[in-house]
């Protein structure tokens, strides 16, 4: 008997077109996820290039990072990358991110099968034999380059020093779904304006303010499938603020982050990170109404090497997700 199959996919949430790069929104580090991924204005973030290329500025040591997690027992996800400081206030990085969903069942479409008995027999036969299955894989390689610009800004009543890293991403996306495969190339451009409010306001206790904006998929990323179908990932504008307040009386500091985007203008992301003596980190964030949180710890290996371990937690309708990651500077 001829069988017509349909695909029931968890990954439909990570689908094509508008959602073709949604797997990249899962996050590239446990730290970022614990902060609700509100990192578009988070300068000095090695793992933040998938949100904005400018994030890797001010990283003055070679840095590698890695994250692996199981998403709801349905998908395996990983992200890894490296940042290299270059000469003349320039920086480069590479990130590899992937999502793998195994054992997706192929199930029969029984709408056009004439009788109840025929439908029942087909289901019994398939149940006894076991359903055929396949895998879905989605991956991206992102290469980033950033140039730092610095200067003085005349505010009329005072001068303020500023830093303005501007970066670009080039990204190759590959997707494999059942018997079809797709490739696409996308580009991002982003910058983060930062200034020390102490020099602007004249108060020694004032902290650092930053505003970040990134245009991702700036020309639309075209995914071309092997069956000639084309999906277009639209351009997304991501923008947000950050403020870092020193807490000198306890040798600590606190970072506030907020982020929005033009595709979902009513969705807000925010994060808070308390850094205690630059070794211990406590984090809380919210991403589209989902609370996140986490911890971090830095261990110095020697004067030039240190490693940071991060943990984050999030509660979802499909279940709780725990993430572990690390970052090594050397």
Contacts of residue 192, Cβ cutoff 8 Å, sequence gap at least 6: 40, 41, 42, 43, 52, 54, 55, 57, 164, 165, 210, 211, 212
Sign for the CA dihedral angle at 285, 287, 290, 294 comes to negative
What span, in angstroms and rounded, lies between the C-alpha atoms of 91 and 82?
Answer: 11
Categorise residue 68: left if φ over 0, alpha if ψ from -120 to 50, beta otherwise: beta
The mean per-residue pLDDT over the stretch 273-286 comes to 95
Rg (Cα) of the chain, in Å, rounded? 23
What pLDDT does 94 receive?
98
Q: Which residues pair with 147 in a beta bridge?
A: 90, 166
What span, in angstroms and rounded, lies between the C-alpha atoms of 257 and 294?
Answer: 15
Q: Residue 196 has which token pair?
A: 């020390």
DSSP 18: G
Which tens digits make up the pLDDT trace of 226-249? Answer: 999 999 999 999 999 999 999 988
Local confidence band at 11 (pLDDT 50, 70, 90 cut-offs)? very low
What pLDDT does 7 receive?
37
Which tens digits make up the pLDDT trace of 75-134? Answer: 899 999 999 999 999 999 999 999 998 877 777 666 677 777 777 777 777 777 777 777
Which tens digits make up the pLDDT trace of 126-159? Answer: 777 777 777 789 999 999 999 999 998 776 666 6
Neighbours of 151 (CB within 10 A): 10
Quick one: which H or E segment has residue 120? helix 116-129
DSSP 13: G
Q: Residue 111 has which token pair?
A: 């709408």
Residue 329 has pLDDT above 90, yes or no: yes
What pLDDT does 120 receive?
79
In the chain, % of residues over pLDDT 70: 91
Considering only the C-alpha atoms of the chain, give the largest distance between any 2 of them, rounded to a whole number of Å: 85
Q: What is the pTM of this model?
A: 0.85
Tell me the domains of the chain and their CATH numbers.
Answer: 5-329 (2.40.160.40)
């Amino acid at each position: 008997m001829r069988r017509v199959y349909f695909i029931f996919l968890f990954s439909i949430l990570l689908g094509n077109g508008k959602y073709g790069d949604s797997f990249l929104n899962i996050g590239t580090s446990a730290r970022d996820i614990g902060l609700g991924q509100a990192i578009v204005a988070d300068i000095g973030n090695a793992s933040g290039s998938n949100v904005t290329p400018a994030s890797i500025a001010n990283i003055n040591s070679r840095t590698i990072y890695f994250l692996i997690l199981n998403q709801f027992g349905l998908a395996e996800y990983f992200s890894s990358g490296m940042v290299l400081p270059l000469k003349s206030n320039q920086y480069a990085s590479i990130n590899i991110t992937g999502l793998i969903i195994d054992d997706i069942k192929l199930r029969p479409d029984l709408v056009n099968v004439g009788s109840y008995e025929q439908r029942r027999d087909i289901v019994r036969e398939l149940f006894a034999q076991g359903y055929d299955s396949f895998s879905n894989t989605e991956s991206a390689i992102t290469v980033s380059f950033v140039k730092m610009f610095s200067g003085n800004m005349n505010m009329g009543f005072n001068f303020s020093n500023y830093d303005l890293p501007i970066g670009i991403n080039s990204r190759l996306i590959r997707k494999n779904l059942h018997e079809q495969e797709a490739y696409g190339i996308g580009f991002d451009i982003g910058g983060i304006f930062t200034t020390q409010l102490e020099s602007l306001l004249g108060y020694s206790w004032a902290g650092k303010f930053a505003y970040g904006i990134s245009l991702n998929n700036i020309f639309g990323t075209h995914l071309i499938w092997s069956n000639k179908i084309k999906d277009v990932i639209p351009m997304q504008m991501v923008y947000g603020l950050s403020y870092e307040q020193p807490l000198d009386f306890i040798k600590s500091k606190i970072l506030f982050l907020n982020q929005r985007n033009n595709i979902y203008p009513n969705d807000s992301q925010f994060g808070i990170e308390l850094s205690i003596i630059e070794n211990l980190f406590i984090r809380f964030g919210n991403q589209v109404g989902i609370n996140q949180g986490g911890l971090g710890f830095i261990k110095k290996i020697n004067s030039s090497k240190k490693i940071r371990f991060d943990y984050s937690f999030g509660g979802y309708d499909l279940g709780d997700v725990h993430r572990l990651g690390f970052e090594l500077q050397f």
